[in-house]
């Protein structure tokens, strides 16, 4: 190659190559088979109970989603986030960004067409009927099929066409697709507990695939939509920001590249928030719903730093909410800095995937007001890296499932939990897969890993069959939380270390190429 020669990449050619690979290499049938099976599993889980079923007066997340549909259908858009006689925010008021509200409106139209009583303002509160449940479940299933599934296929096509072309096999792509589409935590939360995480996670996955294929502006649009569907998608923001900034700084006109990205981000946010941009007060009304600081730094028993350490340090009693906000912000930023620094200095696609895992797990461990369900965010990049890091993926998934077990028990989803977890293990260990299960020294000896697995299994049994002491009614939840927290910390240390080591591997490869030339 002549020194200084400019290389141009035609995006249309890249897309054509991806689809040519899809057709010629034969994974299309694998995708369809896995997708159909994954939909059947979701449908089976949706036959089980949902959050708050039969528990008045506020029921649970199912009722929250249904209530948002009736609110968005029956009130003007400017009233959706405003407390009034027709919109009592203390009864499941909207607390997600506008894309969730628009999604609720669309799904509400669907429900009103088939079953208007289920979304009738006031009279439908606590509505529970077989048809209503069927229609509500269908909205989640269709969202999964229309957003998350295409995003996963987009990622698989881009990832294997551009990065593993020389040694990939059809079984690799099929196995990886199954790991993404049969994530038991996502299936149990969305199709059991009842939520729409598949939309924000699907948009995030599409944004990752766009980054890997070099379509940075499209990635910005998709990721901004993800943030505006669920604000927890901001867990990935440090990775997107640092990677795109690092790439822009290496271009000929870095300021121009950063400006283009900034304009796309601002344009997407402006389009989404347009109905609320008529006044500062209106914007603040929405923002105040997205940051529930009044709930405290943690709720329930979530396996993050603040809750795990609360057995020794009573954070809520010793510090004001304002102080805790600053502490959590500082801790989150500090733990994200190493990963961000690496990507700004040496941006790479593989480093970006590790960065997504590192930033999301930092947010999970240290940010303000984390829920058990937020573990879905670190699980997404762990699933994207399942072929690269099968052991870390399996280990994180195992303890993510355990961390959600008390919630799953409250929802009456134990059979679905056991079945979906067993299915994932069976597919994970399917014969004929080439997986390099390299064990990092952070996870110590085989005996220690065996002890942790036995302890995890034992806690499941104990939680189901034993009653805690009256003096410590949440003893078992605390044990589960602290065990899971310790393993999440180990995963975070390991993946941060690997991201920085990956930088050195790239430098070594570049040096070898220079010597050969």
Q: What pLDDT does 410 receive? A: 93
Of the CA atoms within 13 Å of residue 135, those in its CB half-sphere come to 23
Q: Is 367 helix (H, G, I), strand (E, B) or coil?
A: coil
Residues 6+ apart with CB under 8 A from 165: 21
Outline where 372-474 has alpha helix (H).
Answer: 376-384, 390-410, 414-428, 446-465
* C-alpha span between 377 and 357 (Å, rounded): 8
> For residue 42, which of 194, 205, 260 has the smallest C-alpha distance?
194
Number of domains in the chain: 1
Domain extent for 496:
11-53+128-516
**Would residue 454 count as lying in a domain?**
yes
Backbone angles phi, psi at 413, to 5 degrees: -110, 25
Q: What pLDDT does 192 receive? A: 95
**Would residue 88 count as lying in a domain?**
no
**Would residue 122 count as lying in a domain?**
no
Q: What pLDDT does 163 receive? A: 56
pLDDT digits (tens, 9 = 90+) for 19-28: 555 545 556 7
Regions in the chain scoring below 50 on pLDDT: 1-9, 23, 165, 504, 506-511, 516-517
> For residue 356, which of 510, 490, 236 has the smallest C-alpha distance?
236
Q: What pLDDT does 13 receive? A: 57
* C-alpha span between 481 and 460 (Å, rounded): 12
Q: What pLDDT does 6 receive? A: 44
* C-alpha span between 288 and 294 (Å, rounded): 10
**Would residue 99 count as lying in a domain?**
no
* C-alpha span between 358 and 471 (Å, rounded): 38
**Would residue 111 count as lying in a domain?**
no
> For residue 425, which of 171, 172, 179 has the smallest C-alpha distance?
179
Q: What pLDDT does 444 receive? A: 59
Q: What pLDDT does 294 receive? A: 77
**Would residue 452 count as lying in a domain?**
yes
Q: What pLDDT does 27 receive? A: 66
> For residue 301, which of 380, 371, 215, 224 has the smallest C-alpha distance?
371
Adjacent-strand bridge partners of 370: 298
Residues 6+ apart with CB under 8 A from 32: none
């Amino acid at each position: 190659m002549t020194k200084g020669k400019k290389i141009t990449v035609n995006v249309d050619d890249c897309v054509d190559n991806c689809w040519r690979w899809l057709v010629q290499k034969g994974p299309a049938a694998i995708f369809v088979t896995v997708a159909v099976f994954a939909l059947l599993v979701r449908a089976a889980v949706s036959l089980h109970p949902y959050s708050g079923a039969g528990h008045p007066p506020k029921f649970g997340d199912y009722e929250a989603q249904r209530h948002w549909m009736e609110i968005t259908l029956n009130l003007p858009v400017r009233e959706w986030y405003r407390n009034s006689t027709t919109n009592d925010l203390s009864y499941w008021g909207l607390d997600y960004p506008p894309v969730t509200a628009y999604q609720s409106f669309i799904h509400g139209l669907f429900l009103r067409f088939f079953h208007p009583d289920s979304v009738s303002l006031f009279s439908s509160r606590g509505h529970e009927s077989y048809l209503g449940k069927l229609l509500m479940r269908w909205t989640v299933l269709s969202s999964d099929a229309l957003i998350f599934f295409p995003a996963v296929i987009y990622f698989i096509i881009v990832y294997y066409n551009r990065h593993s072309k020389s040694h990939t096999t059809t079984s690799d792509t099929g196995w990886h697709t199954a790991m993404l589409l049969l994530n038991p935590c996502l299936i149990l939360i969305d199709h059991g507990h009842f939520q729409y995480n598949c939309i924000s996670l699907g948009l995030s996955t599409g944004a990752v695939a766009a980054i890997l294929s070099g379509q940075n502006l499209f990635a910005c649009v998709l990721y901004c939509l993800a943030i505006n569907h669920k604000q927890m998608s901001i867990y990935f923001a440090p990775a997107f920001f640092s990677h795109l900034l690092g790439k822009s700084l290496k271009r000929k006109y870095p300021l121009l590249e950063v400006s283009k990205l900034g304009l796309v981000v601002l344009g997407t946010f402006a389009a989404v928030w347009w109905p609320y941009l008529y006044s500062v007060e209106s914007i603040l009304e929405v923002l105040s719903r997205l940051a529930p600081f009044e709930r405290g730094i943690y709720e329930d028993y979530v396996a993050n730093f603040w809750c795990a350490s609360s057995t020794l340090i009573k954070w809520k009693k010793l510090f004001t909410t304002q102080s805790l906000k600053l502490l959590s912000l500082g801790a989150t930023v500090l733990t994200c800095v190493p990963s961000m620094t690496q990507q700004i200095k040496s941006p790479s696609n593989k480093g970006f995937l590790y960065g997504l895992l590192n930033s999301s797990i930092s947010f999970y461990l240290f940010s303000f007001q984390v829920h058990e369900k937020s573990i879905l965010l670190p699980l997404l990049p762990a699933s994207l890296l399942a072929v690269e890091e099968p052991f870390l993926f399996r280990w994180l998934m195992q303890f993510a499932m355990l961390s959600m077990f008390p919630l799953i028990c409250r929802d009456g989803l134990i059979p679905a939990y056991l079945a979906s977890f067993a299915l994932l293990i069976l597919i994970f260990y399917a014969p004929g897969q080439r997986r390099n299960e390299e064990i990092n020294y952070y996870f110590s000896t085989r005996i220690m890993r065996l002890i942790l697995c036995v302890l995890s299994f034992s806690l499941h049994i104990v939680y189901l069959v034993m009653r805690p002491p009256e003096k410590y009614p949440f003893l078992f939840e605390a044990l589960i939380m602290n065990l899971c927290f310790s393993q999440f910390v180990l995963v975070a240390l390991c993946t941060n270390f690997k991201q920085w080591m990956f930088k050195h591997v790239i430098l070594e490869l570049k040096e070898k190429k220079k010597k050969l030339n």
